[in-house]
Amino acid sequence: MKISKKAQSIPSSVTLEISAKVKQLKSEGKSIIGFTAGEPNFNTPDYIVDSAKEALDNGVTKYTPVAGMPELKEAIVKKFKVDNNLDYDPSQIIVSNGAKSSLFHAIYCLVDEGDEVILPAPFWFTYEEQIKICGGKPVIVQTKPENGYKITPEELDNAITDKTVTLILNSPSNPTGAIYTEEELKALAEVVERRGITVISDEIYEKLVYDNVKHVSIATLSPYMKENTIVINGVSKTYAMTGWRIGYLAAPKALAAAINRVQGHTTSNACSFAQYASITALSGGEDIIESMRLEFDNRRKYMCDLLDDMGVSYIKPQGAFYLFIDISKFIGKSFNGRVIDGSVSFASILTENGVALIPGLPFHADNFVRVSYAVSMDDIKEGFKRIKEFISKLK
């Protein structure tokens, strides 16, 4: 059967390949500690689950409006006001099947064939593939360690051409955990406004921030930024609701209307009872969310200490739940005669030695690997013991 050229140009996900390898090794009886998870290891809090059960019992099982239940959109409007000091009309909010779907619809409605989208690297690999699926051209800007792996106003200015439509910003970042300060965002916003482009601001990890660092949305910084930013968010990470598939965006009215039309022909509404439960999620439970955040923070500190003890460098994360480990000093070394020539071979050989993590290559950072701290403390202890042993055997 013919496979379209468009589909053929999309590579398979490295994460899925690693997961398949882990499955295979486990089926052969091997013990593997997985640090690949992009999701909290906590269950969804009971009160949210109960709310979905209640929705099912009450027959909330029908289509909802494409852009989401009015009550959920109201809860999202309130969330933006309270958390971000952003005022939106409900018509500017679109609820989708996860933030991934929100992002896709936003890119689809912004980008024409050949339009350029600026991506500061390292970045979450889905951005690049979604831009390509939509016919756009990713313009990758390699950020620098001395700037905390964040794009500078000069780098942004230099990357903009007359084909540039938008910049994708992700703060807190997957994979580096970097967070842009208000000052840094102001400086970027000045370039965005002067050059007349837009921003897609992926703020899915906004509540997972540490060391008293504050999350600021670039949309808050000027009337221009409010009118030219699409804010992406969702319940997956903050509320341990990855499987429920509820994401949302806030966009200027005309763009929101376009996204609504497109979504009406792609996925239509997100799951009705998951939307209902998301109203509950967004309307309280701060103490449970805080307890999950504190647990992530403990693990983050613990892992950083272990890496310090091992003499291994990493980017100290201020947010999200990933540690990006610098493996450059291991590249060129070998393990039992097998040479490590980059992050993929490092990850592959390490997986065979009992620890699965994500190579940095698809994030455009081949000198790094990503480990998640959304895993149990027991797994962290055992996994890092194995990593230490692995490293000690490299020649």
Ligand X SMILES: Cc1ncc(COP(=O)(O)O)c(C=O)c1O
Query: ∠ at Cα 147 (104, 158), nearest 5°?
Result: 65
Nearer to ligand X, 18 or 204 (CB): 204
- Separation of alpha carbons 321 and 215, rounded Å: 15
Q: Which residues contact 9 (CB under 8 A, 6 or more apart)?
A: 132
H-helix or E-strand spanning residue 164 = strand 164-170
Closest separation between CB of residue 12 and ligand X, Å? 17
Rounded Cα gap, residues 16 and 175, in angstroms? 17
Cross-strand partners of 121:
142
Q: How far is the CB of 319 from ligand X (least distance, A)?
A: 11
Q: How far is the CB of 101 from ligand X (least distance, A)?
A: 7
DSSP secondary structure code for residue 107 in this structure: H
Q: Given the complex with ligand X, which of 248 and 390 has the nearer CB atom?
A: 248
Tell the smallest beta-carbon distance from residue 242 to ligand X (Å). 5
Q: Name the residue type at position 49.
A: V
For the CB of residue 320, give the shortest distance to ligand X in the complex, in Å. 7
- Token duo for residue 31: 């013990």
User: CB count, 10 Å around CB of 86?
Assistant: 18
Q: Closer to ligand X at the Cβ: 179 or 340?
A: 179
CA nearest 273: which of 116, 62, 102, 78? Answer: 62
Q: Which helix (H) or strand (E) element contains residue 120?
A: strand 116-121
**Residues at the contact surface with ligand X, assessed by CB under 6 A:** 38, 98-100, 124, 170, 174, 202, 204, 234, 236, 242, 247
Would you say how long the chain is, in residues? Answer: 395
Q: What is the closest distance, in whole angstroms, from the C-beta atom of residue 49 to ligand X in the complex? A: 17
Report, in Å, the least distance between residue 352 CB and ligand X.
Answer: 26
Query: Torsion angle of alpha carbons 179, 370, 387, 296, nearest 10°?
Result: 50
Q: Contact, 269 vs 311, CB < 8 A?
A: no
Comparing CB distances to ligand X, the nearer of 36 and 64 is 36
Closest CA to 215 of 225, 199, 226, 204: 204
Rank residues 40 and 354 by Cβ distance to ligand X and give the closer one. Answer: 40
To the nearest whole angstrom, how small is the minimum distance from the Cβ of residue 249 to ligand X?
A: 11
The residue number whose beta carbon is nearest to ligand X equals: 98
Whole-number minimum distance, CB 114 to ligand X, in Å?
25
Taking CA atoms, 242 is separated from 44, 220, 239, 269, in Å, by 9, 27, 8, 17
The least CB distance from residue 70 to ligand X, in Å, is 21
> Which residues have CB under 8 Å from 220's CB, separation 6+?
84, 85, 86, 226
Nearer to ligand X, 184 or 202 (CB): 202
**289 CB-contact burial (10 Å; exposed 0-12 / middle 13-18 / buried 19+):** middle
* Closer CB to ligand X, 209 or 340, in the complex: 209
Query: Please, what's the b/e burial string for 334-367 (b: 16 or more CB within 10 A of its CB; e: otherwise)?
Result: ebeeeebebbbbbbbbbbbebbbbbbbbbbbbbb
Q: In this complex, which beta carbon is closest to ligand X, that of residue 38 or of residue 354?
A: 38
C-beta of 132 vs 388, nearer to ligand X:
132
Q: Which is nearer to ligand X, 22 or 240 (CB)?
A: 240
